[in-house]
């Protein structure tokens, strides 16, 4: 019951990341949202999720993983209710941003609670396997559930469905999970946090303005240049602070840096594709939300199946092969998407989506490389850095690809955005050839989960270099 309780919260956070994509046309029509407004309905969630996740781990160390998990779940669920009844675009965007903050608090602490609740050995291996499988289930279920709810009930139900699940998770955690050990001396990085949020927001605003104003405009420069300046300031702060939220020394490892860049490109293509495909199917091909959800479901189901296969390939051949298979297949799928138009049969689109879904083969391999390349006792932090980089990639994918999806207000076309995705995955495949073919250590993913001497289990929530 404890594992179910923890995974329910994780599931609803991931479900909400994908369930909204197929409902965007309906939300946009109801709230009179422009294309950039719809981009922000997705990106507000991803931005705060990415920017706050690492620092949330440190707060969990200080206050307790269970307490922060419940606080994050409460914030997420309350914001979800606001989303369901939002009557304006600004209200929806603000509520989505608050959702992302709640999700950022919940996700790292869910792993900390599993580490605390389950002793090392088969019990923990099964628990971590279930936790990992939930990510695939949430990804696969979101588009299909969202499409059915939009067509049968309305877009409000897309958000309301998460409320009872979140409430059930909170009550079950209160009843079955005890508090993990705290680390009162764990400190956060407020200056880095502020700069990270400001830089990501400014850069995202800059890219989303291009859909309406083009790539040569004062709006792009007004937000883009300050965003780059804030990003440089963030790097400087992280280099000099003792408690950096993003320890830059981790990037001295070539394998770690390469896998992190691949992860960023991976989510750039995945999140951008989900956004563009839903709008293309519903606006250009005039499909229903349920049909769009089924097309995306074919992609998601293949992703889930490939993540399961990837572990076996990684154990036998090393991380390079599954990464290359996934990235090259993603490039092929994206290239096929780029050939579609308003007359392309729905069955062909679904097949292209399934081929694109083979990118799932690369997902566990990326994580394995990062965990193996992380310093001893810092596998959790390495995983947090990778997940943050992937969220940033998704944020930029929706912003940049959305800006070229419907030039000058025309109907959405996949030609240019999916050509960009194909090129990005080919570039990631070239980077993957630099990763050594040796299999990642099987223990690296759990190296810092178990207490040892004076070390507590809660570093899984958010460790720091010292």
Q: DSSP of 84-148, one letter per residue? A: HT--SHHHHHHHHHHHHHHHHHHHHHHHHHHHHHS-TTHHHHHHHHHHHHHHHHHHHHHHHHHHH
Predicted local confidence at residue 466, as pLDDT: 33
Whole-model pTM above 0.85? no
**Lowest model confidence (mean pLDDT) among 92-96, 139-143, 171-175:** 139-143
Tell me if 463 is assigned to some domain: no
Tell me if 456 is assigned to some domain: no
Asked if 260 and 370 touch (Cβ cutoff 8 Å), the reply is yes
**Domain co-membership, 413 together with 269:** yes
Q: Which residue has the tokens 């096929």?
A: 336
Most confident of 345-349, 369-373, 440-444: 345-349
* Cα 437 to chain centroid, rounded: 26
Q: Is residue 457 over pLDDT 70? A: no
The secondary structure element, H or E, covering residue 37 is helix 35-63
**Domain co-membership, 23 together with 44:** yes
* Boundary of a domain, candidates 200, 227, 244: 244
**Domain co-membership, 167 together with 201:** no
3-state secondary structure of 452: strand
**Domain co-membership, 231 together with 270:** no
Tell me if 457 is assigned to some domain: no
**Domain co-membership, 363 together with 436:** yes
Q: Is residue 330 over pLDDT 70? A: yes
**Domain co-membership, 276 together with 144:** no
Instruction: In whole angstroms, give the CA distance from residue 393 to residue 421.
Output: 12
Predicted local confidence at residue 446, as pLDDT: 39
* Boundary of a domain, candidates 182, 211, 226: 182
Tell me if 437 is assigned to some domain: yes
Tell me if 343 is assigned to some domain: yes
Predicted local confidence at residue 463, as pLDDT: 39
Residues belonging to the chain: 466
Q: Is residue 442 over pLDDT 70? A: no
Predicted local confidence at residue 14, as pLDDT: 82
**Domain co-membership, 169 together with 207:** no
Predicted local confidence at residue 136, as pLDDT: 67
User: CB under 8 Å to 20, separation ≥6 — which residues?
Assistant: 27, 41, 42, 45, 146, 158
| Confidence tier at 181 by pLDDT (50, 70, 90) | low
* CATH code, domain carrying 364: 1.20.1250.20
| Average pLDDT for 349-369 | 88
**Lowest model confidence (mean pLDDT) among 29-43, 243-257, 321-335, 431-445:** 431-445
**Lowest model confidence (mean pLDDT) among 145-149, 259-263, 348-352:** 145-149
Task: Tell me which residue range forms the domain holding 216.
Answer: 189-244
pLDDT tens for 153-163 read: 899 999 999 89
Tell me if 290 is assigned to some domain: yes
Tell me the chain's radius of gyration from C-alpha atoms. Answer: 21
* Boundary of a domain, candidates 204, 219, 244: 244
**Domain co-membership, 336 together with 401:** yes
Predicted local confidence at residue 65, as pLDDT: 79
**Domain co-membership, 259 together with 391:** yes
Label residues 50-80 b or e (16+ Cβ within 10 Å = b): bbbbbbbbbbbbbbbbbbbbbbbbbbbbebb
Picking from 133, 445, 448, the residue whose alpha carbon sits closest to that of residue 315 is 445
| Confidence tier at 438 by pLDDT (50, 70, 90) | low
443: exposed, middle or buried (Cβ count in 10 Å: 0-12, 13-18, 19+): exposed
**Domain co-membership, 74 together with 107:** yes
* Cα 206 to chain centroid, rounded: 21
| Average pLDDT for 313-334 | 90
| Average pLDDT for 360-376 | 80
pLDDT tens for 369-419 read: 887 787 765 666 677 788 788 888 888 888 888 888 866 556 778 999 999
Instruction: In whole angstroms, give the CA distance from residue 81 to residue 434.
Output: 46
Tell me if 172 is assigned to some domain: yes
Instruction: In whole angstroms, give the CA distance from residue 58 to residue 183.
Output: 9
**Domain co-membership, 239 together with 267:** no
| Average pLDDT for 334-362 | 93
Picking from 54, 414, 434, the residue whose alpha carbon sits closest to that of residue 253 is 434
Label residues 149-181 b or e (16+ Cβ within 10 Å = b): bbbeeebbbbbbbbeebbeebbebbeeebeebe
User: Number of structural domains, the chain?
Assistant: 3
Asked if 98 and 72 touch (Cβ cutoff 8 Å), the reply is no
Tell me if 464 is assigned to some domain: no
Return mean pLDDT, the chain.
Answer: 81
The proportion of the chain whose per-residue pLDDT surpasses 70, expressed as a percent, equals 83
The proportion of the chain whose per-residue pLDDT surpasses 90, expressed as a percent, equals 26
**Domain co-membership, 3 together with 140:** yes
């Amino acid at each position: 019951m404890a594992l179910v309780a923890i995974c329910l919260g994780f599931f609803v956070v991931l479900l909400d990341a994908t369930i909204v994509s197929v409902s965007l046309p309906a939300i946009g029509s109801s709230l009179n949202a422009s294309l950039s407004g719809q981009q922000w309905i997705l990106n507000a969630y991803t931005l705060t999720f990415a920017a706050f996740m690492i620092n949330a781990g440190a707060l969990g160390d200080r206050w307790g993983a269970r307490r922060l998990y419940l606080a994050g779940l409460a914030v997420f669920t309350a914001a979800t209710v606001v989303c369901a009844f939002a009557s304006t675009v600004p209200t929806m965007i603000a509520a989505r941003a608050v959702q992302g903050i709640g999700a950022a608090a919940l996700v790292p602490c869910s792993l900390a609670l599993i580490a605390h609740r389950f002793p090392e050995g088969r019990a923990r291996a099964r628990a971590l396997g279930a936790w990992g499988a939930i990510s695939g289930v949430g990804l696969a279920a979101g588009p299909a559930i969202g499409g059915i709810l939009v067509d049968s009930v309305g877009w409000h139900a897309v958000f309301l469905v998460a409320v009872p699940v979140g409430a059930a998770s909170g009550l079950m955690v209160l009843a079955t999970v005890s508090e993990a050990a705290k680390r009162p001396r764990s400190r956060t990085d407020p200056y880095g946090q502020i700069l990270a949020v400001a830089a990501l927001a400014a850069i995202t605003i800059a890219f989303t303005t291009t859909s309406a104003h083009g790539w040569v405009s004062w709006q792009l420069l007004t937000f883009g240049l300050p965003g780059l300046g804030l990003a440089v300031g963030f790097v400087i702060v992280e280099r000099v602070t003792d408690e950096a939220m993003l320890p830059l020394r981790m990037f001295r490892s070539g394998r770690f840096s390469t896998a992190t860049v691949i992860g960023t490109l991976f989510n750039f293509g995945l999140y951008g594709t989900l956004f563009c495909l839903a709008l293309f199917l519903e606006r250009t091909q005039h499909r229903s939300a349920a049909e769009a959800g089924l097309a995306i479901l074919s992609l998601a189901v293949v992703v889930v199946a490939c993540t399961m296969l990837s572990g076996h390939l990684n154990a036998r051949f090393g991380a390079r092969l599954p990464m290359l298979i996934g990235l090259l297949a993603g490039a092929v799928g994206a290239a096929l998407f780029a050939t579609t138009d308003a007359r392309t049969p729905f069955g062909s689109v679904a097949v292209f989506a399934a081929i694109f879904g083979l990118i799932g083969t690369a997902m566990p391999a990326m994580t394995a490389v990062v965990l193996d390349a992380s310093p001893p006792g810092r596998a959790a932090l390495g995983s947090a850095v990778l997940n943050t980089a992937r969220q940033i990639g998704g944020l930029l994918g929706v912003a940049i690809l959305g800006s070229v999806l419907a030039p000058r207000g025309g109907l959405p076309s996949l030609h240019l955005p999916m050509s960009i995705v194909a090129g990005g995955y080919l570039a990631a495949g070239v980077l993957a050839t630099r990763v050594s073919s040796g299999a990642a250590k099987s223990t690296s993913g759990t190296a810092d989960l178990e207490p040892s001497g004076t070390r507590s289990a809660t570093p899984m929530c958010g460790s720091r270099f010292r």
